[in-house]
Amino acid sequence: MTKLYEGAKLIRSKNAGPFAITFDIIFPSHEQFKKIASCHALAVEHVAALLGVPLDKIKRYDLPLANAIKFSIVRKYPAGDFLDDDLYGCQEHRFLVNLDVPDEVRV
Amino acid sequence: MKKEVCVLAVAGMLGSSFDEKSYQYALEKHPDIIGCDSGTCDSGPFYLGEGKPRMNRKAAKRDLELMIREGVARKIPVIVGSAGTAGADPNVDWMIDIVKEIAAEDKLHFKLAEIKTELTKDQLKEYLAKGRIKPLDGWENLDDKKIDEISRCVSVIGAEPMIEALNQGANVIIAGRATDTSIYSAVPIREGLDNAFAWHAGKVLECGTLASVFEKYHGSMMSWVREDSMSIEPAHPEMAVSPVSVVSHTLYENSDPFHLVEPGRILDIKDAVYEAENDRRVKVTGSTMKRTPYTVKIEGAKFEGYRRVAVAGVRDPLVLKQMDSWLKEVEKAARTKIQKGMQLGKDDYRFRYLVYGNPKDDNTETVGVVFDILAKTPQDADGIISNVWHTALHVPIHDWEGAQSQTAFPFSPPSLMTMENGKTYSFCLNHVIQVDDPLETCRIKYYDL
């Protein structure tokens, strides 16, 4: 198996307002994007389980023009809440970096 | 109607010390507006709650001076939105003071518009009573009690108040909380281009040069808005945007990359077409916009208490082996002491700890622990954190016999407070107000400088 980061140009997470976090997985080519878009590891059910969010609090968007897949989730705690530990939501993509994906997606 | 309006964003954030050369290149293209965003809620609820800016005054003044000096000399309107990070009244006052200082020092004369967007509790209660406040994303309805708990609330205005100020002859506009895009769409709209391209351009411009292929210089981004398209180009000739870099930017900090909700409008960019016009400029067509009932988003911060933290390094391999149970023991012992000595129980303060590093990794030399507490008074907060770190210091493990000290503190005293005596806030609103008039949540004042 290959790790998702080996097939991606950029994997990142960031607040989208204080109540949501958005994850971007950007691929180096359209071919690469097409290969991975249908892969099971990135199915919304799988990513929801990985991030620990219920299915009604996650959405997936495919942007072929940007060779990108995006997930947006509702935050467990609002940004800066006493129990929040990532103000910018910018280190939550860690769950995706080492995700196992089929070998064909390696660059 | 103007056929084409040239919009300049000097940077993604005012006070970020934008590249002056890029700015000079931009001015040579004769922009119709010089704009910059000055706010965000990304840095958390503190800035709104406290009415304090995140940026440094000197850095904000440097950027503002460059904008105003050129804007006044060339008769180009200057628009700054979300003044002083949170865009609340004290944040706007802070920036107006800087602008007045610049005018006096540089002997500049212009009409300054101040747009304040803070809302009082009475205003909120009135809107609530009229059934005008609606929750977003499954949030609960507001009630008077919840409104009373809000420390500060701002309305996030659209382009209309800025257009009003321009109509009144303002040369420089300092606006309270506003959508980032409205800063850049105000002038195109006033010129008759209230279309998807004005707003789509605003969306790309709002982060300055971040939409570039490579951000060699941090600074000016330009757009040309037309009836049927818009073009986008970094001001510096050594920089470029590409179709991919522009599309990719619509992903950034945006939960839905296809729909942008703005006051009174919804933008659909799903079918937008991005074409390279040359090796550094992109043309966008195909975006569409629909008018919607006019709603204004509100942001609120609620005071939560006074925060203190202590930072400790744990290094004894035997303690690291039982880190979880040891920390639970620390919490239990500290809470008992706080109850006995200070008569404060579980509901009187909040307590958590964060562990940095992996105590189970044999190669780890130090694991960091941040003890974090929130209390109702600064005195309680000081007492609680002292109890916590001093308890942590001496909670023994059974592997050793005799008195033990477990935590390496990097400074004295081992506790810290966040800014302004540790005052801590939370975001408490995710609602919109349905308004009759886009100007009704704001107050505009003019100064002839």
| Paired strand residues for B275 | B283
- From the CA of B247, how many Å to the nearest CA of chain A? 6
Kind and range of the H or E element at B302? Answer: strand B295-314
- Nearest partner of B36 among B60, B20, B56, judged by Cα: B60
Residues (pLDDT < 70) of chain A are: 104-107
Q: How many CB pairs lie under 8 A apart between chains A and B? A: 84
Strands laid side by side in the B259-262 sheet: B259-262, B265-268, B288-291
Q: Are A58 and A44 in contact (CB under 8 A)?
A: yes
Please tell me which residue of chain B has the smallest CA distance to A60. Answer: B256
* pLDDT reported for residue A1: 79
CA distances from B435 to B155, B157, B158, B381 (A): 11, 11, 12, 42
Tell me the pTM.
Answer: 0.95
State the Cα–Cα distance between residues B57 and A69, nearest whole angstrom.
39
Contact B253 A14 (CB under 8 A): yes
User: Does residue B140 belong to the interface with chain A, where contact is any CB pair within 8 Å?
Assistant: no
Which residues, in sequence order, are bridge partners of residue B134?
B432
Tokens of B279: 């090796």
Which of B45, B243, B374 is the closest to A80 by Cβ?
A: B45
Buried b (16+ CB within 10 A) or exposed e, A32-43: bbebbbebebbe
> Tell me, what's the pLDDT at B253?
82
Residue B341 CB neighbours (<10 A): 10
Query: Which residues in chain B are contacts of A85 at CB distance < 8 A?
Result: 354
| CB-CB under 8 Å, B258 with A17 | no
* H-state helical runs in B153-275: 160-167, 180-190, 196-205, 243-249
Instruction: For B257, name the nearest residue in chain A, comparing CA atoms only.
Output: A61
What residues make up the domain containing A39? 2-105
- The whole-number pLDDT of residue A106 equals 60
- Are B252 and A17 inside 8 Å of each other by CB? no
- Which among A16, A66, A67 is the nearest to B255, CB-wise? A16
Nearest CA to B418 out of B367, B353, B374, B369 is that of B374
A13 touches chain B (CB under 8 A): no
CA-nearest residue to B375 within chain A is A82
pLDDT value at residue B276 = 96
Of B137, B248, B374, the CB nearest to A82: B374
Q: Cβ contacts (< 8 Å) between A61 and chain B: which residues?
A: 256-258
CA B21, CA A10: separation in Å to the nearest integer?
30
Inter-chain residue contact B257 with A70, CB threshold 8 Å: yes
Among residues B393, B396, B397, B398, the alpha carbon closest in space to that of B408 is found at B393
H-run or E-run covering A35: helix A30-37
Tens-level pLDDT at each residue, chain B (449 residues): 789 999 999 999 999 999 999 999 999 999 999 999 999 999 999 999 999 999 999 999 999 999 999 999 999 999 999 999 999 999 999 999 999 999 999 999 999 999 999 999 999 999 999 999 999 988 999 999 999 999 999 999 999 999 999 999 999 999 999 999 999 999 999 999 999 999 999 999 999 999 999 999 999 999 999 999 999 999 999 999 999 999 988 888 888 999 999 999 999 999 999 999 999 999 999 999 999 999 999 999 999 999 999 999 999 999 999 999 999 999 999 999 999 999 999 999 999 999 999 999 999 999 999 999 999 999 999 999 999 999 999 999 999 999 999 999 999 999 999 999 999 999 999 999 999 999 999 999 999 99
| Nearest CA-CA partner of B174 in B17, B384, B14, B288 | B14
- In eight-state DSSP terms, residue B141 is P
Name the residue facing B427 among A16, A18, A61 (closest C-beta): A18
What is the reported pLDDT for B1?
75
Tell me if B266 sits within 8 A of B289, measured CB to CB.
yes
- Contacts A74 to B, Cβ<8 Å: 137
Window 53-82 of A: residues touching B by CB (8 A cutoff) are: 59, 61, 63, 65-68, 70, 72, 74, 78-82
Contact assignment for A61 to B430 by CB distance below 8 Å: no
**A82 to B304: CB separation less than 8 angstroms, yes or no:** yes
ipTM surpasses cut 0.95: no
**What is the domain count for chain A?**
1
Q: Does B419 reach chain A within 8 Å, measured CB to CB?
A: no
The DSSP bridge pattern shows strands B172-175 and B111-116 to be parallel
Interface contact flag, A17 B255, Cβ < 8 Å: yes
Suggest the residue from B41, B42, B245, B298 to mutate for an interface test with chain A (most A CBs closer than 10 A): B42
Q: Cα–Cα distance between B120 and B142 in angstroms, integer? A: 15
